[in-house]
Amino acid sequence: MSKRILRLNETKELYKDVDFISAIKEINDDYYKEKGIKKKALIFTYGCQMNEHNSENMISLLESMNYEMTEDQNEAQLIIFNTCSIRESAENKVIGLLGHMKTLKESKDDLTIAVAGCMMQRDDPRNIILTKYHHVDIIFGTNNIPKLPELIYTQKETGKRVLDIIENYDLVDDIPEYNRLYSHKGFVNIIHGCNNFCTYCIVPYTRGREISRKPEDIVKEITELANNGYKEVTLLGQNVNSYGKNLDRPCSFSELLELINAIPGLERIRFMTPHPKDISDELLEQYGKLDKLSKHLHLPVQSGSDEILKRMNRHYTKEKYISKIEKVKEVYPDIVLSTDIIVGFPGETEEYFEETLDLVKKCKFDFAYTFLYSKRSGTKAAYYEDQIPHDVKLERFNRLLDVLYDIGNEKNTKLIGTEVEVLVDEISKTDDTKVSGRTDGFKLVNFVGTSDLIGKIVKVKITDANTFSLEGELID
């Protein structure tokens, strides 16, 4: 029998005097006293860095309620799926995994399952969870993260399934940042949402319209990070260079970078993601002026064909894009360049695809994130009639990778023998005698070293090159 879903506003009056964080903490403390172990929580995160950062915020909240994070679903009492809708495959994966959760839940008497993130902002996947996945106890959207304690409390008190979704983007600044994934580099949201409506993209429907955070709030957050020993920040937004337009006192993205560059102790500034239509010469010139600005530009192009770019609603041409890349190379010749490319957008002919290959060869990207076009219901391109067959998409995709790999190899090989500065992130994933980190230009470098180097910037000599990473030796 299906249990009716309860919305948080139905219990708002009832629980108006409850301090949800303290209440859950008390329950969890009692559990600890009784069992001698803490209650455990697990978050599965899909999608972009925005989602990663949202999960970091959730971890903060969970830890403040005395949950301990785990990676083992069998020992967790709370499992949260922080979902992504960007491609159909990302959604299908979660739907499949949630199916398996039913068996896990039946085998345990105290497991709570929650689904959050972009999928829950969309009617279709949300309705599947509501009507078919009755073992999911809590559903909340991208704008409702601060409500997590209230959701957990209400679900526990009422024993009902609970839902909270809001369409308007509430800034989540008030979430305490007790916990971040790393203690030397942090993500900082500067702008939420997106106004661009690229015809293939679901994000404007899941993250709402653009809202910039105030520059003083951003500077304060980063100053605190720097005071706590953080060396690097990545400024996040779906379109970072349209930052500042809606502020009472407008501040351009370029001006924001200047403010952040002046923060003492901070060493590197990265940002994700700029849009080519809004990238100003003033911003590109900052690569020659701001010493902390990482010498890496990730500028998603999507296609090299003017016709396809028009149908994607991207508002720039191939020539305009190339001119931006040439400009930044003039300012800083060794800049590391990367991009996003969609293959097989509706109406992409062989000739149009070759325009993309040509653009890739001209720009010489160090690397690229490449995607097969995926139809997203509700977006304009999903209704275009000239969809491309899967096998054609795949064949083009492989040809694109060949070109990208050749350029990547060539560019990385040129770095052999050079000395670079690496901010060490972690023990290498492939060899535990090594550590890995990133150069200022975002190149991944592995070298023999120990965990005491994590969080430090060290000099490394490059000794070998792979397509996506470099090998090196620590210089004393």
Interacting residues of 372 by C-beta distance below 8 A, sequence separation 6+: 342, 343, 344, 390, 393, 394, 397
Q: Which phi and psi angles does 22 have, rounded to 5°?
A: -65, -40
Q: How far apart are the C-alpha atoms of 135 and 131, rounded to whole Å?
A: 10
Using the minimum distance from each CB to ligand SF4, give the nearer residue, 272 or 290.
272
Q: Is 268 helix (H, G, I), strand (E, B) or coil?
A: strand
Return the structure tokens found at 98. 């949630």
Task: Please name which of 133, 135, 137, 130 lies closest in space to residue 156, comparing C-alpha atoms.
Answer: 137
What is the spatial distance between Cα 120 and Cα 142, in angstroms, rounded to a whole number? 8
Q: Which is nearer to ligand F3S, 85 or 112 (CB)?
A: 85
87 binds, among ligand F3S, ligand SAH, ligand SF4, none (CB under 5 to 8 A by kind): ligand SAH
Residue 197 or 405: the one with the smaller Cβ distance to ligand SF4 is: 197
To the nearest whole angstrom, how small is the minimum distance from the Cβ of residue 400 to ligand F3S? 21
Q: Which is nearer to ligand F3S, 47 or 441 (CB)?
A: 47
CB of residue 107 vs ligand SF4: minimum separation in angstroms? 40
Q: CB under 5 to 8 A by kind: which of ligand F3S, ligand SAH, ligand SF4, none does 51 bind?
A: ligand F3S
Nearer to ligand SAH, 113 or 203 (CB): 203
CA quadruple 135, 136, 137, 140: dihedral, nearest 10: -170
What single-letter DSSP state applies at residue 302?
A: B
Query: What's the min distance (Å) between Cβ of 74 and ligand SAH?
Result: 33
Residues that bind ligand SF4 (CB under 6 A): 194, 196-198, 201, 203-204, 238-239, 275
Chain residues that interact with ligand F3S, rule: CB under 6 A: 47-48, 50-51, 84-86, 118, 202-203, 206-207
Q: How many CB atoms lie within 10 A of CB 9?
A: 8
Q: Which lies closer to ligand SAH via its Cβ, residue 146 or residue 347?
A: 347
Chosen from ligand SF4, ligand F3S, ligand SAH, none, partner binding at 342 (C-beta under 5 to 8 Å by type): ligand SAH
The rounded distance, in Å, linking the Cα atoms of 338 and 321 is: 13
Which of ligand F3S, ligand SAH, ligand SF4, none sits in contact with 404, Cβ below 5 to 8 A by type? Answer: none
Token pair in block for residue 287? 């690569």
Q: Is the peptide bond before 112 cis (omega within 30 degrees of 0)?
A: no
∠ CA(409), CA(411), CA(415), 5° rounding?
105
Least distance to ligand SF4, CB of residue 158, Å: 37
Identity of the residue numbered 236: L
In the complex with ligand F3S, the residue whose CB is nearer, 89 or 280, is 89
Contact in structure between 146 and 101 (CB atoms under 8 Å): no
Least distance between ligand F3S and beta carbon 83 (Å)? 7
The residue (of 85 and 144) whose beta carbon lies closer to ligand F3S is: 85
- Match 């455990």 to its residue by tokens: 40
Q: Cα 341 to chain center, whole Å?
A: 17
Q: Considering the complex, what minimum distance in angstroms separates the CB of residue 301 from ligand F3S?
A: 17
CB-count burial class (<10 Å; 0-12, 13-18, 19+) for 274 = buried
Binding site for ligand SAH (CB under 6 A): 86-87, 200-201, 203, 238-239, 273, 275, 300, 302, 340, 342, 371, 373-374, 376
CA gap 9, 415 in Å, rounded? 58
Q: CB of residue 272 vs ligand SF4: minimum separation in angstroms? A: 11
Q: Distance between CA atoms of 240 and 187, rounded to whole angstroms? A: 13
- The least CB distance from residue 148 to ligand SF4, in Å, is 25
Q: CB 375 → ligand F3S: shortest distance, Å?
A: 14
Which entry of ligand SAH, ligand SF4, ligand F3S, none binds 204, CB below 5 to 8 A by partner kind? ligand SF4
Of ligand F3S, ligand SAH, ligand SF4, none, which one sits near residue 50, judging by CB under 5 to 8 A according to partner kind? ligand F3S
